[in-house]
Amino acid sequence: MEKERKLQIIKAAAKRFDKHGVNKTTLNEIARDLRIGKATIYGYFVSKEELFFSVLEWEGSQFLEEARAIFNNEEFQLRDRFLQYFDSKESISQRYKLMLDSFLKVLDEKGIDGEMLFIKNLLAREEDLIRSVLTKAYAGKSFNIESSLPVFIALKSWGLFFGFKLYTLSVQPDSLHLKEILLKEIDNFLA
């Protein structure tokens, strides 16, 4: 029950933060949305800031679970799973707006320390996921997964996401072309 209530608070806060922004959202509004007292929220979170970072962690975990599900789907070849992984990032702004906003703040050097730490940890967890996928895919083969390859894939896929957003402003979008370029780069690493 405790975990369930905490998750309810996190989800309600995510909706409020997404719609009105963190600064304009109050704990009273979140409590009212859930029909609980503000004191109940303080039973789980010491501050609105802690609640915000819990929302970011929840969004990051959801994102990584989606990626894990894509990579674990062995109905598709590894290359196709990577393509699906890249595709999943294209719609991240609709599913994980607060996480994306934190990325943008960090890139613009306006992120607070907690956001920078969150992004750093998210990238590390994403790299670990990619490393485990590649290790499993190449198990028993005389191939050593370079430590830089998972980092390269994670960072390049985020670069692909942001680059595609800019690319659509300048020319007729062709996201498949950009993804194919990234897949070729990965293939070169693995060759």
User: What band does 59 get if pLDDT is binned at 50, 70 and 90?
Assistant: very high
Nearest to residue 66, comparing CAs of 104, 99, 21? 99
d(CA 188, CA 191): 5
Question: What amino acid occupies position 40?
Answer: T
Q: What pLDDT score was predicted for residue 143?
A: 59
Q: Is the pLDDT at 173 greater than 70, yes or no?
A: no
Residues shown for the chain: 191
In tens, the pLDDT along 102-141 reads 998 988 888 788 999 999 999 999 999 999 998 888 777 6
Q: Which pTM does this prediction carry? A: 0.86
What pLDDT is stored for residue 156 in this prediction?
87
pLDDT digit string (tens) for 20-58? 999 999 999 999 999 999 999 999 999 999 999 999 999
| Torsion-angle region of 11 (φ positive above 0: left; ψ -120 to 50: alpha; else: beta) | alpha
